[in-house]
């Protein structure tokens, strides 16, 4: 690939700047994606944390839902964190009325599985695919993956067995926020997916 990879960050709602900071620190160019014309300009897409119901509604209002679904079908690498994981899930156990996702990950996800924001926590998470050094994972009203289908593979689970990170081809979905703990390896894995295409 000529030049730096250009990574889009879906910028309808959520913690966009934190992802920009991580990606730019890794040498990537970033573009805030709010419209279909911007999506076609990027090599990969980050779907950040925020409110999945709001991201869903705004993606439809801005005409982005079907272009993102098509980009997934076309093999564009994507990283979904927290609400982004919800948006990449094929199924939800507790969807709000009328809530839709982009899909792509063969998983079922439960929203807000860890309670209120006051019950947020950090944990040292073992992610074998990222090496021996544990991941500092911050869970803030995060979802949990309640079922992993044959198309997806588990990257990490909590000690109690709850799955919190999955991968399926060039798609990565995680329940937590690496962008606020200084953890860069998931973003690096996304960039690796771009350069290996």
Cβ neighbours of residue 78 closer than 8 Å, sequence gap 6 or more: 44, 45, 46, 47, 71, 72, 88, 104, 170, 171, 172, 190
How many structural domains are present in the chain?
Answer: 1
1, part of any domain: no
101, part of any domain: yes
Q: How far is residue 79 CA from its own chain's centroid?
A: 4
Residue 129: domain span: 6-195
- Residue 21 appears among annotated catalytic residues: no
52, part of any domain: yes
- Residue 20 appears among annotated catalytic residues: no
| Measured distance CA(76)–CA(47) in Å, rounded | 13
Catalytic pick from 20, 51, 167, 177? 177
- Which of 104, 100, 113, 97 minimizes the C-alpha distance to 146? 113
79, part of any domain: yes
Catalytic pick from 18, 179, 183, 187? 179
- Residue 188 appears among annotated catalytic residues: no
112, part of any domain: yes
* pLDDT, tens only, 21-61: 999 999 999 999 999 999 999 999 999 999 999 999 999 99
164, part of any domain: yes
* pLDDT, tens only, 54-95: 999 999 999 999 999 999 999 999 999 999 999 999 999 988
Which whole number is the average pLDDT over 146-174?
A: 96
Q: What is the CATH number of the domain that holds 96?
A: 3.40.50.880
**pLDDT, position 118:** 57
Catalytic pick from 19, 20, 51, 82? 82
| Measured distance CA(9)–CA(16) in Å, rounded | 7
């Amino acid at each position: 690939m000529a030049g730096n990879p250009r990574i889009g960050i879906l910028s309808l709602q959520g913690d966009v700047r934190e992802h920009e900071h991580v990606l730019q620190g890794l040498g990537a160019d970033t573009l805030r994606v709010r419209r279909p014309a911007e999506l076609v300009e990027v090599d990969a897409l980050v779907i950040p944390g925020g409110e999945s119901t709001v991201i869903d509604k705004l993606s439809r209002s801005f005409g982005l839902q079907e272009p993102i679904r098509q980009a997934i079908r076309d093999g564009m690498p994507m990283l979904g964190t927290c609400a982004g994981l919800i948006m990449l899930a094929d199924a939800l156990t507790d969807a709000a009325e009328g809530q839709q996702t982009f899909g792509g990950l063969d998983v079922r996800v439960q929203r807000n599985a860890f309670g209120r924001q006051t019950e947020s926590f950090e944990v040292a998470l073992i992610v074998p695919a990222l090496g021996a050094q544990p991941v500092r994972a911050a869970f803030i009203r995060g979802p949990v993956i309640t079922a992993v289908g044959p198309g997806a593979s588990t990257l990490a689970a909590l000690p109690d067995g709850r799955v919190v990170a999955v991968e399926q081809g060039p798609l990565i979905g995680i329940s937590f926020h690496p962008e606020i703990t200084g953890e860069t390896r998931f973003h690096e894995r996304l960039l690796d997916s771009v350069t290996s295409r």
